[in-house]
Amino acid sequence: MSTLHALTGTLAAGPPTGVTRELDFVLNLIAWLVTAAGVAGLLIVGSRMALAVKTGDGDEHMSQFLMVMGACVIGATAGPIVGFVI
């Protein structure tokens, strides 16, 4: 019974705080970088769309827009998934 109690106390304590704090810092940094890359990507695609409208060219800008938005969704959901697994 005491072994089970000790094991339960160890599992309830969770991972060491030093590892979790460092991992949280890295995940937060990556999340900010993904956000900045998503905003930059949308600005680039938007400016290319504006230039295409001005010159009269109608290329596949919608596929580029959807690709950037898909990358933003993947980047936005990666952090909570990793946080749930840890």
In a domain, 25, yes or no: yes
In a domain, 7, yes or no: no
How many domains is the chain built from? Answer: 1
In a domain, 8, yes or no: no
In a domain, 79, yes or no: yes
Q: Which domain holds residue 65?
A: 17-85
Residue 10 vs residues 5, 7, 21, 85: alpha-carbon distances, Å? 9, 5, 19, 18
pTM over cut 0.85:
no
For 26-57, the pLDDT digits (tens) are 878 888 888 899 899 999 988 988 888 878 77
Predicted pLDDT at 22: 81
Those residues whose C-beta lies under 8 Å from the C-beta of residue 15, and which sit 6 or more positions away, are 86
In a domain, 5, yes or no: no
In a domain, 74, yes or no: yes
The better pLDDT of the pair 29, 13 is held by 29
In a domain, 54, yes or no: yes
In a domain, 12, yes or no: no
Show the tokens assigned to 49: 């769309």
